[in-house]
Amino acid sequence: MHSVISYPDRGHWGDSKWRGNCSGHVYQDLFRQLQPSTFVDPMVGSGTSVEVAKEMSIKAWGLDLHQGFNAVTDSILLTVGEQVDLCLSHPPYGPMIVYSGSVWGSEPNPADLSRCGSNQEFHEKMQLVLLNQRDATKPQGFYGTIIGDYRKNGTYTSYQAEMIARMPSDELAAVIIKQQHNCVSDSRSYSKLALPRIMHEYILLWQKKSGPLLVLLGTMAREQHSRLTGTWKSIIGLVMQRLRGKASLEQIYQEVARAAPQKLAVNPNWKAKVRQVLNSTGMFSSPERGLWMLAA
Ligand SMILES: C[S@@+](CC[C@H](N)C(=O)[O-])C[C@H]1O[C@@H](n2cnc3c(N)ncnc32)[C@H](O)[C@@H]1O
């Protein structure tokens, strides 16, 4: 298996009429590559993944909201009763395909991930789903998701980038690009489109390291914290570039206030934060009292 895959034919597994279904060949390739003995799909849809797994003599479970299982709130591990070698989801993303009250059921279900009120809600719920999947995975086993990107009204949302940023970076194992075929959008006219049409999805795989959950949460919190510090460093670095590499503390405050008003609104101690970043990150030096430079 390579990191770029393409299957124009979806095979005989699952239901070709189930909107947003995935080619069975994707699962077949992944199972051949990862050799799981046990597998769970917590958003099984029309059942493609589990049909492929069973055909390959892999013990498999398929769960879905349409059966009453909510991957955001219900433990996959407790539902299945054992940890598995591979736990792979294929969530709805963006409002492109709405499931409850449309593909299945007569009423909208508020737990339906295709009915999230905002991208932020989806990103946060999917982080919890991925941690749920990880919990149901054996140490050294794999968990992951099949997800695409979405552009609407000129705004590009990269769900996969959000997921990678929210999960432990030392567990990321593979990013596979899957070409998309037979999308509903294929039939629409895009003659005036200024940017390339999205014709791919991602398969993201993480490999679970052993160790207690609290250690993992500590690692994730540290990673998020260092990203935030990194953002502050970059903002102050940009400000210093604009000030030609050398400035007084007062000039830096003024430029930061201009450059990052939203950040400042949520951090009332921002001047202390600026001083902390200047003093502690090694990116800046002070040749004389009250004057700061970008370090070489
Ligand atoms: C893209 S489809 C999966 C398609 C599947 N791979 C196939 O080939 O048929 C996404 C599925 O996620 C399910 N879903 C949405 N929200 C969910 C939730 N909170 N918990 C579990 N399943 C959910 C939907 O019902 C839908 O069946």
Per-domain boundaries in the chain: 4-210, 225-294
- Sign, CA dihedral 106-108-113-114, equals positive
Alpha helix (H) ranges present in 35-170?
A: 48-55, 76-80, 119-135, 159-166
Instruction: Provide the pLDDT for residue 251.
Output: 94
- Amino acid letter at 66? H
Q: Strand, coil or helix: what is 119? A: helix
Instruction: Provide the pLDDT for residue 170.
Output: 92
Please state the atom number of ligand 1 nearest to the C-alpha of residue 111.
19
Residues in the chain, total: 296
Is the CB of residue 66 below 6 angstroms from any atom belonging to ligand 1?
A: yes
Query: Packing angle between helix 119-135 and helix 159-166, nearest 10 degrees?
Result: 50
CA of residue 215 to ligand 1 center, whole Å:
30
Residue 252 vs residues 5, 99, 215, 225, 241: alpha-carbon distances, Å: 49, 50, 37, 23, 11
For the chain (length 296 residues), average pLDDT per consecutive 10?
Answer: 93 92 96 98 98 98 98 97 98 89 95 95 96 96 96 91 94 96 58 81 95 83 86 88 92 86 74 91 88 87
Q: If 0-12 CB within 10 Å is exposed, 13-18 middle and 19+ buried, where does residue 123 land?
A: middle
Question: Which of 13, 48, 65, 100 is the best mutation target for the ligand 1 pocket, counting ligand atoms within 8 Å of the beta carbon and taking the most?
Answer: 65
Is the CB of residue 48 below 6 angstroms from any atom belonging to ligand 1?
A: yes
Q: Do the beta carbons of residue 90 and residue 22 sit within 8 Å?
A: yes
CA of residue 57 to ligand 1 center, whole Å:
23
Instruction: Provide the pLDDT for residue 129.
Output: 97
**Chain centroid to CA 234:** 23
Q: How many CA atoms lie within 13 A of 198 on its CB side?
A: 17
Instruction: Provide the pLDDT for residue 181.
Output: 85
Instruction: Provide the pLDDT for residue 235.
Output: 87
Domains 4-210 and 225-294 alike in fold: no
Which CATH superfamily, name and number, covers 4-210? Vaccinia Virus protein VP39 (3.40.50.150)
Give the C-alpha separation, 20 to 184, whole Å: 9
Is the CB of residue 147 below 6 angstroms from any atom belonging to ligand 1?
A: no
Is the CB of residue 62 below 6 angstroms from any atom belonging to ligand 1?
A: no
Question: Which of 113, 145, 201 is the best mutation target for the ligand 1 pocket, counting ligand atoms within 8 Å of the beta carbon and taking the most?
Answer: 113
Instruction: Provide the pLDDT for residue 263.
Output: 63
Q: Running DSSP on this structure, what letter comes out for residue 252? A: H
CATH architecture for segment(s) 225-294: Orthogonal Bundle (1.10)
Instruction: Provide the pLDDT for residue 211.
Output: 76
